Amino acid sequence: MMHTAAATVWEAPVGVEDELSRLRRGDPEALGALVERYQHRLYRYLCRLVGDPATAEDLFQQTWLRVAEQIHRYDQGRNFDAWLFRVAHNLAIDSLRRYRPESLDEPLPSGESRVERVPDDAPSALDLVVEQEWSGRIAIAIGQLPAIYREVLALRFEEEMKLEEISESLGAPLSTVKTRLRRALESLRARLASSGAISEVTP
């Protein structure tokens, strides 16, 4: 979906523009440079979204294969970050739909997901490596949120994307992104309160 703000000319970070131009001219080294440039951001996003490092690695590779196939469709005036994350988002959602469809349940009217109702205190492999401090507790609590909430929190707070960029990455309207972000934060807070990490339930 196109949004006015997202359609404005995107100013690529220094270096990315050059790599994109080279890639469109068919320079194979340029794609390798982009893989290196985006390795941590893309892997981190996929880890947050699918919650499993091995699946994130697989999706990371699939994303770049898809980028190589479809780079001719990318409009250089648009935001490459949003385009790249959109490719990764689509592959990750397909994967979740295939193997864990319950993780994509629409939130209930209360903002709570059906998944949230199922107690699942077993930390994932990713959770086990994080420290048991405040930020570690936040990471664990986020890992227990539905995928669509984890995703929007990761894009906003970790990747520092603007809402318009998130909207473009997810292919969702701006209003949906705002609603999802608000509900994600409220669910996170409720989860932290129920685990005793914070004392207050209602902000």
If one asks whether residue 134 binds another protein (CB under 8 A), the answer comes out as yes
If one asks whether residue 43 binds another protein (CB under 8 A), the answer comes out as yes
Determine which residue in the list 18, 24, 27, 39 makes contact with another protein, applying CB under 8 A: 39
Determine which residue in the list 60, 83, 85, 149 makes contact with another protein, applying CB under 8 A: 60
CA–CA distance, 56 with 47 (Å, rounded to integer): 5
Determine which residue in the list 9, 131, 175, 196 makes contact with another protein, applying CB under 8 A: 131
Output the smallest distance, CB 203 to another protein, in A: 5
Residues in the chain: 203
Local structure of residue 201 (DSSP, 8 states): S
If one asks whether residue 50 binds another protein (CB under 8 A), the answer comes out as no
CA–CA distance, 155 with 31 (Å, rounded to integer): 23
Q: Could you please report the per-residue DSSP string of 50-114?
A: H--HHHHHHHHHHHHHHHHHHGGG--TTS-HHHHHHHHHHHHHHHHHHHH-GGGGPPPPTTS--H
If one asks whether residue 74 binds another protein (CB under 8 A), the answer comes out as no
If one asks whether residue 178 binds another protein (CB under 8 A), the answer comes out as yes
If one asks whether residue 175 binds another protein (CB under 8 A), the answer comes out as no
Determine which residue in the list 158, 171, 173, 195 makes contact with another protein, applying CB under 8 A: 158
CA–CA distance, 101 with 10 (Å, rounded to integer): 35
CB 95 within 8 A of CB 49: no
Task: Mark the segment that binds another protein (CB under 8 A) among 14-22, 60-68, 73-81, 107-115.
Answer: 60-68
Pair of tokens at residue 160: 């520092």
Output the smallest distance, CB 28 to another protein, in A: 6
Output the smallest distance, CB 198 to another protein, in A: 9
Instruction: Specify the residue, 28 or 109, whose C-beta has the smaller distance to another protein.
Output: 28
